[in-house]
Amino acid sequence: MPRGSIAGLCAIFIALVTASFVKAQDVVDRIVARVENDIILLSDVQELQRYQELVNGKSESESAILDRLIDQWIVRSEAELSQFPKPKEAEIDREVLRVEKSFATPEEYQARKKQSGLSDAEVRKMVASQLYLGSYLDSRFRPSAQVEEKAIEDFYQNKVVPKAKERGQAPPTLEAAHDTIQEALVQSGINEQADRWLKESRDRLDIQKYLEEGTK
């Protein structure tokens, strides 16, 4: 066979293989949402799903995770627009270590990480993202999430004391529990404000979803 014919056949073969590979990629990864001029991919959904499985032992539905990614897009866009500082490497190190310490043993963490299919780099990326977004929301809404002493006392009497009695334990004193209760109520206030803000933001944005539940 002439050399030119062989080269031509090779070119056709390579083109067919490349086309098949690209087609396979389209099936595996595709656009599942558009937010303004940006896109969210199925692989983004699956990565967050795997991270949830790592830290929680289970994950939300794909549609719920997609909603979370849309919210993350909103928070990240606002944070970057305001030039909110990214977390430092030392902060990320501490948060990664906190995730690892949440498991009973290092071996359990490694086994769960392997099961989730996440690499160390992917875990670190997810941790850094969560840290950045959480820090921005905290800085934005904490100043207005003020808690009155009456609310702390009510929470102590209505939640802490009854819970301790249910367990047959002596409740901590109000003084001992004060700061923990205050922070819990502040976090609740931050979450409520953030939820309202995100809902308002979603209503004014151009958001298109293409995800079919159960798509793999």
88-92 mean pLDDT: 98
| Nearby residues of 49 by Cβ (< 8 Å), 6 or more positions away | 59, 60, 62, 65
**What is the predicted pLDDT for the residue at 216?**
47
DSSP per residue over 91-106, as a string?
Answer: HHHHHHHHHHHTSSSH
As a whole number of angstroms, the distance between CA 179 and CA 177 comes to: 6
3-class secondary-structure state, position 147: coil
Residue 73 CB coordination number (10 Å)? 21
Cα(92)–Cα(16) distance, integer angstroms: 44
- Lowest model confidence (mean pLDDT) among 9-13, 69-73, 159-163: 9-13
For domain 3-209, the question of CATH label 1.10.1490.10 is answered with no
Q: Could you tell me which of 59, 45, 47 has the C-alpha nearest to residue 211?
A: 45
- For the chain, the domains span 3-209
**Binning pLDDT at 50, 70 and 90, where does residue 15 land?**
very low
pLDDT of residue 213: 57
- Taking only the tens place, the pLDDT of each residue in 194-206 is 999 999 999 999 9
Q: pLDDT-based confidence at 28, cuts 50/70/90? A: confident
Where residue 73 falls (left for φ over 0; alpha for ψ -120 to 50; beta otherwise) is alpha
- Distance CA(188)–CA(155), nearest Å, equals 12
Residue 5 has pLDDT above 50, yes or no: no
Taking only the tens place, the pLDDT of each residue in 110-154 is: 999 999 999 999 999 999 999 999 999 999 999 999 999 999 999
Q: What pLDDT score does 1 carry?
A: 52
Residue-level pLDDT at 166: 94
Query: What number of residues does the chain have?
Result: 216
pLDDT in the model for residue 20 = 43
